[in-house]
């Protein structure tokens, strides 16, 4: 029997933007505008004068899909063709409205000025050590993007290698997507793309002369690359050129090829992945001596297969792990692979594999423990294991017999966001930060276990004024969830603090305490910043991830909702002072929160969000996410997806909080139509005074390659939206 889901005829209702009512009492020392306990005074962002623009009505069409017995209306399907003239006119009108509303928020110029100061704090990231050459990225106060530097000698002055601002024009900024130095550090393979599209082109530079080789290879998005020891060539991943596969499949079929310097890339031989499913995400890795080539085939974020090929004598591929439904990765030293795996170990363990007999020689090396093993690497003749202990980073050191030699004494609450070293070197460089600690790089001397500062970012911030702590709270099913809280020491828990609740909860990605410059704008205004470690993430091992994926995805949303309830119950805030904020998979989290518990927040920001879970797999690279979410083509998995799909769970006549939806026209991960359709649907359905706004970026993508001036513009809009809707005057 066909089940029909009806939507009200109120589709197309105009968004109402009433006037602002800021001062109920004088601002407090924390910068908040007073409000009655009953919240009877409406907080409204912007007055509209007679004749001024209102939200453009989105055309409603009679379009539906029939899936597994459900008839699903999709009245804004036409917005999926976001480049059409009609859609572009609608987008322009929406953006004009957003500019009008946010431009009238009191204190907007003060917000911009303070953010400008904060964004001048430098950044430091992306470490590589090759011989005595140390590569890193750093952005200074006046840089639009981070610049790639090299130190030729660990005590030498940094030398600029690539400033992306010198590669592109004003209309199409170029970003550096990834880079791989050769074994001796004298050559650099790197990928660039325009406008944040992540559709990279590979180029090769002589590090000393900075001259480019003639080798240019397109279609290398998110490349995995392994240099041969002599620097004469490398193994790398790329996608097929348009026309080489059926139309629409160019973003799949990522395979491993070999390139010899000076050869025509069109003649590069395929070496791995030819017989795999087209959506297998492949990767390449070489042993330190170049003898063994590892081939990875990823199927979502929970499992991958791993193969090895002995390049001496052109050996055949052998399976190390195939069809086992777990994760496998590691470091290959000579003929030994130190392999991290989640097989029979949700918190992961490390085994030692003889690469000459990979199918029969797994030896337990470091057993699974109470805390999750996030990574393991080989530096200075030792094995270094990165653990997450209650979402904080901790590093343990082992010898090649598996004996523990000690740990690295990192500062409390540290997040290790990168590390670099070499098997035959003496130094390990560890990049750390925390909510209150700007990025710094520590140098660990392996033979002596001495730890000392190497590089750091200076920030004019007095950390003693703030508190960073971790609390625990029960979710809906009783599972205890950890949450990080950051705020000024002098706030009172009287239920009036403006609070940002943010999260991710997907793809086994851990959310750890990290430094964010812009956050101090919020903290100094008396705001609270809360980040729960919800299920679906990787903070507590693979079991934690699996508890928030596929048919368990509702746990992720329940954990996030429970965090909001805990913050309210414990006097940090109240619904009218609470904002939820997330991007990408975190944007899906926000969309589900808004549609499931609109009463718990006064504002929401969803950036680059997945919102139509019945059609996400039809656009861009969405189909490779079906192992994480499920496939709408499968009847059972469709039931999971439809039950929480934010676009479909919007209900007419509901008082939704104010919502800012963000997207970009060159986002090649999450299709812009998610935000466009959700904007139209919420504007038609809401009965509250909270505005539903769209922020549409041009010449911008999902991540990377964004100029600091545009990041500043986005942050000014986002914080203006939050201050205006929550009744906070900066």
Q: Which residues are catalytic?
A: 584, 702
141 by Cβ neighbours in 10 Å (0-12 / 13-18 / 19+) ranks as exposed
Q: What are phi and psi of 138, to 5 degrees?
A: -145, 140
Query: Measured between alpha carbons, how far is 355 from 334 in angstroms, rounded to an integer?
Result: 9
Query: Measured between alpha carbons, how far is 143 from 124 in angstroms, rounded to an integer?
Result: 13
Q: What are phi and psi of 166, to 5 degrees?
A: -90, 0
| Residue 218 CB neighbour total at 10 angstroms | 14
* CA-to-CA dists, residue 407 to 26, 385, 399, 686, angstroms: 52, 9, 12, 54
Query: Measured between alpha carbons, how far is 667 from 196 in angstroms, rounded to an integer?
Result: 7
* CA-to-CA dists, residue 171 to 35, 168, 323, angstroms: 45, 8, 46
365 within 8 A of 351, measured Cβ to Cβ: yes
Query: Measured between alpha carbons, how far is 530 from 597 in angstroms, rounded to an integer?
Result: 18
Taking Cα atoms as reference points, which of 376, 399, 403 lies closest to residue 447? 399
60 within 8 A of 51, measured Cβ to Cβ: no
**Beta strand spans in 140-211 (E):** 147-152, 159-162, 174-181, 187-194, 201-206
Taking Cα atoms as reference points, which of 676, 623, 630 lies closest to residue 56? 676
691 within 8 A of 17, measured Cβ to Cβ: yes
302 within 8 A of 293, measured Cβ to Cβ: no
- Both tokens of 642, joined, read 């439809």
**Helix 85-102 × helix 673-685 angle, to 10°:** 60
| Residue 36 CB neighbour total at 10 angstroms | 9
């Amino acid at each position: 029997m066909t089940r029909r889901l009806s939507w009200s005829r109120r589709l197309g209702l105009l968004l109402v933007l009433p006037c602002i009512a800021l001062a109920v009492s004088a601002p407090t020392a924390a910068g908040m505008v007073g409000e009655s306990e009953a919240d009877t005074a409406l907080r409204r962002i912007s007055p509209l004068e007679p004749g001024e623009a209102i939200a453009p009505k989105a055309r409603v069409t009679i379009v539906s899909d029939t899936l597994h017995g459900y008839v699903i209306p999709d009245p804004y399907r036409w917005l999926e063709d976001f480049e059409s003239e009609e859609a572009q006119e609608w987008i322009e009108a929406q953006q004009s409205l957003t500019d009008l509303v946010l431009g009238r928020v009191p204190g907007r110029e003060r917000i911009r000025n303070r953010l400008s100061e904060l964004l001048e704090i430098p950044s430091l990231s992306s470490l590589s050590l090759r011989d005595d050459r140390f590569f890193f990225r750093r952005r200074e106060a006046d840089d639009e993007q981070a610049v790639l530097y090299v130190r030729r000698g660990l005590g030498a002055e940094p030398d600029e290698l690539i400033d992306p601002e010198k590669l592109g024009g004003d209309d199409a900024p170029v970003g550096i997507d990834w880079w791989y130095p050769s074994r001796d550090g004298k050559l650099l393979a790197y990928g660039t793309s325009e406008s944040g599209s992540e559709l990279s082109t590979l180029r090769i530079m002589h590090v000393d002369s900075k001259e480019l080789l003639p080798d240019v290879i397109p279609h290398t998005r998110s490349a995995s690359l392994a240099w041969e020891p002599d620097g004469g060539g490398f193994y790398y991943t790329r996608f097929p050129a348009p026309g080489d596969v059926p139309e629409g499949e160019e973003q799949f079929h990522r395979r491993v090829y070999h390139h010899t310097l000076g050869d025509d890339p069109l003649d590069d031989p395929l070496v791995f992945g030819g017989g795999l499913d087209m959506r297998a995400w492949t990767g390449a890795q070489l042993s330190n001596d170049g003898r063994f080539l590892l081939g990875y085939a990823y199927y979502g974020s929970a499992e991958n297969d791993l193969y090895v090929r002995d390049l001496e004598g052109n050996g055949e591929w052998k399976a190390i792990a195939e069809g086992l439904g777990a994760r496998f990765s590691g470091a290959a030293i000579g003929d030994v692979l130190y392999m991290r795996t989640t097989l029979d170990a949700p918190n992961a363990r490390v085994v030692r594999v003889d690469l000459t007999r990979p199918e029969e020689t797994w030896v337990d090396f470091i057993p699974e423990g109470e805390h999750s093993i996030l990574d393991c690497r080989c530096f200075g003749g030792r094995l270094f294991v990165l653990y997450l202990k209650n979402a904080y980073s901790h590093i343990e050191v082992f010898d090649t017999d598996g004996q523990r030699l000690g740990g690295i004494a990192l500062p409390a609450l540290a997040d290790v966001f990168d590390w670099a070293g070499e098997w035959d070197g003496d130094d390990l460089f560890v990049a750390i930060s925390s909510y209150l600690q700007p990025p710094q790089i520590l140098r660990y001397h392996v033979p002596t276990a001495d730890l000392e500062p190497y590089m750091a970012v200076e920030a004019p911030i007095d950390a003693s004024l703030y508190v960073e702590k971790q609390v625990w709270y029960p979710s809906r099913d009783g599972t205890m969830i950890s949450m990080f809280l950051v705020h000024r020491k002098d706030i009172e828990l009287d239920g009036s603090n403006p609070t940002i609740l943010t999260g991710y909860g997907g793809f086994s990605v851990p959310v750890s305490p990290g430094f964010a410059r812009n956050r101090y704008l919020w903290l100094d205004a008396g705001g609270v910043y809360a980040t729960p470690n919800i299920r679906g993430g990787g903070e507590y091992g693979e079991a934690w991830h699996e508890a928030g994926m596929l048919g368990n995805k509702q746990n992720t949303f329940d954990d996030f909702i429970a965090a909001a309830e805990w913050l309210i119950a414990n006097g940090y805030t109240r619904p009218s002072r609470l904002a939820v904020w997330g991007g990408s998979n975190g944007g899906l989290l926000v969309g589900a929160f808004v549609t499931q518990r609109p009463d718990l927040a006064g504002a929401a920001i969803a950036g680059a969000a997945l919102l139509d879970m019945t059609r996400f797999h039809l656009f861009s690279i969405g189909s490779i996410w079906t192992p994480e979410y499920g496939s709408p083509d499968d009847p059972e998995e469709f039931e999971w997806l439809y039950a929480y799909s934010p676009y479909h769970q919007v209900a007419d006549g509901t008082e939704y909080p104010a919502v800012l939806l963000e997207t970009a026209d060159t986002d090649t991960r999450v299709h812009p139509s998610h935000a466009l359709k959700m904007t139209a649907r919420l504007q038609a359905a809401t009965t509250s005074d909270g505005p539903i706004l769209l922020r549409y970026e041009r010449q911008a993508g999902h991540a990377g390659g964004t100029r600091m001036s545009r990041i500043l513009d986005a942050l000014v809009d986002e914080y203006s939206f939050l201050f205006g809707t929550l009744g906070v005057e900066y």
